[in-house]
């Protein structure tokens, strides 16, 4: 994600966003504009720029601080972004945090493989005679002290040490992540399909939720489109917000 903060004559230099075209094709390219001006004065034709952004599949979202500006409406509509004008400070925070989550991967984005390393956290204790504190590579370019520590994450390729993940190894360039990081980004990029909602009266079958085994009493039931299992409202919410996978689908996968 590329956030612009350069403002020229009231209109953000959107042109700069075009320069992040060197990003690999599997990544999503996004620009978030926080816009407070009511006028735009871009030296070149803004509509040409919108066309270019659309062509490069760069999604532009705008958070307006004052009032709706027509050019922003067109810009976000054409590039597939969102456009909101804030109501107050809390609303602004809400809108901003909404953009923290990456958007789902589009089927049109190209696939490429990335080499990744999954270093284990090595713990060394002070009482251990052989363990010696060592520098972490992540402290090389920040000024916060030498950072001599015992233990850490060791790059599986070159044994460089890091104290935090995810990181790109400064020595060999390998992307170092932990499995939970990967799982977390996976469910953001490939969100689960919504379950099919059906009124309880129309539902024929055993009136028990597949997940909590409770009796289905609410107005609607939710059906997984893949395995046709039924779930209650609470379980549907829990599955989509927390689990990110259908428990019945997983169960049938492991038994088959
Ligand atoms: Zn390395
Ligand atoms: Zn349930
Ligand atoms: Zn299922």
| pLDDT value for 33 | 85
Residue ranges near ligand 1 (ion) with Cβ within 5 Å: 155, 157-158, 160, 169, 171-172, 174
| pLDDT value for 237 | 93
CA of 249 to the centre of ligand 2 (A): 15
Class at the top of the CATH hierarchy for domain 27-100: alpha beta
Q: Are 11 and 37 within 8 A, CB to CB?
A: yes
* pLDDT tens string 92-143: 999 999 888 777 776 666 667 778 899 888 876 666 666 777 888 877 766 6
- Percent pLDDT > 90 in the chain is 21
Which is higher by pLDDT, 10 or 32?
A: 32
- Given a cut of 80, is residue 145 above it in pLDDT? no
Closest to 235 measured CA to CA, from 253, 209, 217, 207: 209
Measured torsion, CA atoms of residues 7, 13, 17, 20, in degrees rounded to the nearest 10: -90
| pLDDT value for 13 | 58
- Given a cut of 50, is residue 2 above it in pLDDT? no
CA of 110 to the centre of ligand 3 (A): 28
CA of 165 to the centre of ligand 1 (A): 13
- Given a cut of 50, is residue 248 above it in pLDDT? yes
CA of 228 to the centre of ligand 3 (A): 6
- Given a cut of 80, is residue 254 above it in pLDDT? no
Which is higher by pLDDT, 102 or 77?
A: 77
CA of 217 to the centre of ligand 2 (A): 10
- Count of positions (residues) in the chain: 256
Of 7-16, 26-35, 74-83, 131-140, least confident by mean pLDDT is 7-16
How high is the mean pLDDT of the chain? 80
Which is higher by pLDDT, 105 or 164?
A: 164
* pLDDT tens string 173-228: 898 988 878 877 788 777 888 999 999 989 888 889 999 999 998 899 999 999 99
| pLDDT value for 8 | 42
Which pLDDT band holds residue 24 (cuts at 50, 70, 90)?
low
Q: Are 135 and 161 within 8 A, CB to CB?
A: yes
Which pLDDT band holds residue 10 (cuts at 50, 70, 90)?
very low
| pLDDT value for 26 | 64
> SS3 string of the chain?
CEECCCEECCEECCHHHHHHHHCCCCCCEEEEEEECCCCCCCCCCHHHHHHHHHHCCEEEEEEECCCCCHHHHHHHHHHCCCEEECCCHHHHHHHHHHCCCCCCCCCCCCCCCCCEECCCEECCCCCCCCCCCEECHHHCCCCCCCCEECCEEECCCCCCEECCCCEECCCCCCEECCHHHHHHHHHHHCCCCCCEEEEHHHCCCCCECCCCCCECCCCEEEECCCCCCEECHHHHHHHHHHHCCCHHHHHHHHHC
| pLDDT value for 150 | 80
Measured torsion, CA atoms of residues 24, 80, 11, 37, in degrees rounded to the nearest 10: -140
Residue 105 burial (CB count, 10 A): 17
* Domain residue ranges of the chain, discontinuous segments joined by +: 27-100, 114-178, 192-254
Of all ligands present, the nearest one to the C-alpha of 237 is 2
CA of 6 to the centre of ligand 3 (A): 47
CA of 159 to the centre of ligand 1 (A): 6
- Given a cut of 60, is residue 17 above it in pLDDT? no
| pLDDT value for 85 | 92
192-254: CATH homologous superfamily?
Zinc/RING finger domain, C3HC4 (zinc finger) (3.30.40.10)
CA of 211 to the centre of ligand 2 (A): 5
| pLDDT value for 14 | 61
């Amino acid at each position: 994600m590329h956030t612009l903060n350069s403002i020229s004559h009231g209109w953000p230099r959107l042109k700069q966003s075009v320069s992040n075209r060197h990003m690999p094709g599997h990544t999503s390219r996004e620009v978030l504009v926080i816009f407070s001006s009511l006028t735009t004065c871009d030296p070149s034709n803004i509509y040409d720029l919108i066309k270019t952004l659309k062509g490069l599949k760069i999604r532009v979202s705008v958070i307006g601080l004052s009032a709706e500006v027509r050019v922003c409406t067109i810009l976000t509509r054409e590039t597939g972004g969102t456009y909101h004008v804030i109501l107050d400070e809390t609303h602004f925070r809400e809108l901003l945090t909404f953009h923290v989550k990456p958007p789902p991967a589009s089927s049109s984005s190209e696939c490429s493989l990335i080499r990744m390393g999954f270093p284990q956290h090595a713990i060394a204790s002070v009482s251990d005679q052989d363990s010696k504190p060592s520098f972490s590579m992540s402290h090389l370019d920040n000024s916060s002290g030498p950072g001599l520590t015992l233990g850490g994450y060791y790059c599986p390729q070159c044994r460089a040490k890091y104290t935090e993940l995810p990181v790109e190894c400064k020595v060999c360039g390998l992307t170092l992540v932990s499995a939970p990081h990967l799982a977390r980004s996976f469910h953001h990029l490939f969100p689960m399909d919504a379950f099919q909602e059906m009124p309880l009266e129309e539902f024929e079958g055993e009136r028990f939720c597949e997940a909590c085994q409770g009796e289905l009493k609410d107005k609607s039931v939710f059906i997984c489109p893949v395995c046709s299992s039924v779930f209650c409202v609470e379980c549907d919410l829990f599955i989509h917000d927390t689990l990110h996978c259908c428990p019945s689908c997983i169960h049938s996968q492991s038994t088959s």
